[in-house]
Structure 1
């Protein structure tokens, strides 16, 4: 494959938030980084400071946008907002913990845990619609940067979609990979699609961030 036809992608999950600690669903709610999250973003920026990034695209939600600012400043790369990189919209689930959702809406929680691709909480996105949005956005951005390296700063659910697209894992398959806060994840994109290069690199962090989906996974690996 000619070098000019390959886009190198660094996919990043935002730093930790207080709601990550509480396993509370954030979705489209605009929750800021906590102190640990800001420290993670600083360490992430240091780790990527020598990367030749042509552009950084970030979700417009504050936790991702703030994380991206640290990276952009260290790498001296242009930063742009991209709503297509937002976390999945969880509708009325947003603001609640996994246990609270199970208690309030057991039938809906069961469909969520089973990764029903056509289920979406009232006011939220279906899993299938979310996946199509994320992958379509990433493909569009990759196509605009052939032969270059870009960073995508987003959310756990977004990274889950990119991993599945690159590894050819079915949308309804249980998740067995990590989605750590401020982790570095590397992919390639060509006309044939995404390819996984490296995943869940947290060597730049003294300790791992929390995976906001970990409790949901124990209940059925809901993403």
Structure 2
């Protein structure tokens, strides 16, 4: 008997993602840990968000998602207003929970919690600031949240507006970087970062675009502090 023809497997539908870090806050400028405390954008951050929205105004978005913290929601709203959609909140896109570190400057953490500061700066995966998340827990939450939202939109285009730590987790996942490797990629306020995904793996297409901003742009200060 003739062999039956093989049925071709369906090609995965690729989702395109614009990943955005929120605009600047006063605590960014003060090198003060925000974590999951709800700190709004400062005037410069509001202007960054407006410039971001205008830069992306000509693009189509099937959904805009944001962390439910004000600094991310305000940034996402500036984009949503330009592209004619609404912002959908998701707490899974929040920054890492830094527990007792939150509200302190980096210098204050180093002075008040020297052993914990050293473990944090050395990216010990199972270290958690008192009352906070381990790096492993945070990475798992950030990646799984992003993939969950991506799977809602196969073949579509979405924006995810989040925080520097979340951007770092997704960049590491896409590039198969370990949690302990020093960070060399930028995590700038209101930057445009483009990725694609089949719903399982992330691919970085373009990273760290701040050409749309005419203001000083700060980087996430999670690298070792002298």
| TM exceeding 0.5 | yes
The Cα shift of 1:51 comes to: 1.1
| Distance 1:212-1:23 versus aligned 2 partners, 3 A rule | farther
* SS of residue paired to 2:223: helix
Residues 1-223 of structure 1 aligned to structure 2 (within 5 Å) = 5-213=13-221, 216-219=222-225
TM-score by length of 2: 0.93
Q: For the residues of structure 1 that align with 2:160 and 2:82, how far apart are their CA atoms?
A: 15
1:106-139 CA-partner distances (Å, limit 9, x unpaired): 0000110110110111111100000000000000
Q: For the residues of structure 1 that align with 2:21 and 2:194, how far apart are their CA atoms?
A: 12
List structure 1 runs of 4+ shifted beyond 3 angstroms. Answer: 1-4
Structural RMSD (CA): 1.5
Q: For the residues of structure 1 that align with 2:160 and 2:79, how far apart are their CA atoms?
A: 11
Higher helix residue share: 1
The Cα shift of 1:105 comes to: 0.6
The Cα shift of 1:2 comes to: 7.5
State whether residues 111 and 119 of structure 1, in contact with CA within 8 Å, keep that contact through their aligned partners in structure 2: yes
State whether residues 54 and 78 of structure 1, in contact with CA within 8 Å, keep that contact through their aligned partners in structure 2: no
* SS of residue paired to 1:27: coil
| Distance 1:30-1:192 versus aligned 2 partners, 3 A rule | closer
Unmatched 5+ residue regions in structure 2?
Answer: 1-8
TM-score by length of 1: 0.94
Q: For the residues of structure 2 that align with 1:152 and 1:130, how far apart are their CA atoms?
A: 17
The Cα shift of 1:209 comes to: 1.6
The residue aligned with 2:5 is none
The Cα shift of 1:191 comes to: 4.6
